[in-house]
Amino acid sequence: MAQLWGGRFTKETDKLVYNFNASISFDQKFYKQDIQGSIAHVCMLGKQGILTKEEMQDIVKTLDEICKDVESGKLKITDEYEDIHSFVEANLIDRLGDTGKKLHTGRSRN
């Protein structure tokens, strides 16, 4: 299960706790909006010089591909992910490696 918290725990998180925190079952319908917000964020990072132009373009292109893959059914949103943000970010990192991790730069989920 992909989760954004719990990295310091030594034991696996109980499924009950995971289910309590998970919102993927209802926020998956916002995948387009989440991707659009991520694209806007990445463009800002590029404009500010925090990302290179190439990094920005690679992330935007890959986010567009993720959106198209969800729409075509090639990529399924599953309850393996805690929420839609972790789904998008995990898939971006799977496709881009370290560059994909830069999507989170300057962002807070709090």
In a domain, 18, yes or no: no
Residue 11 has pLDDT above 70, yes or no: no
Kindly report the pTM of this predicted structure. Answer: 0.79
Segment 66-82, tens digit of pLDDT: 999 999 999 999 888 88
In a domain, 2, yes or no: no
In a domain, 3, yes or no: no
Residue 1 has pLDDT above 70, yes or no: no
Cα 9–chain centre separation:
22
In a domain, 46, yes or no: yes
- CATH number, position 56: 1.10.275.10
Q: How far is CA 24 from CA 19, 51, 66, in A?
A: 10, 29, 16
Q: Provide φ and ψ at 13, rounded to 5°.
A: -70, 135
Structure letter (DSSP) for residue 84: H
In a domain, 92, yes or no: yes
Whole-angstrom Cα Rg for the chain: 14
Domain count, the chain: 1
Q: Which domain holds residue 41?
A: 24-104
User: Which neighbouring-strand residues pair with 2?
Assistant: 81
Residue 51 has pLDDT above 50, yes or no: yes
Report the percent of the chain where pLDDT is more than 70.
75
pLDDT at 22: 62
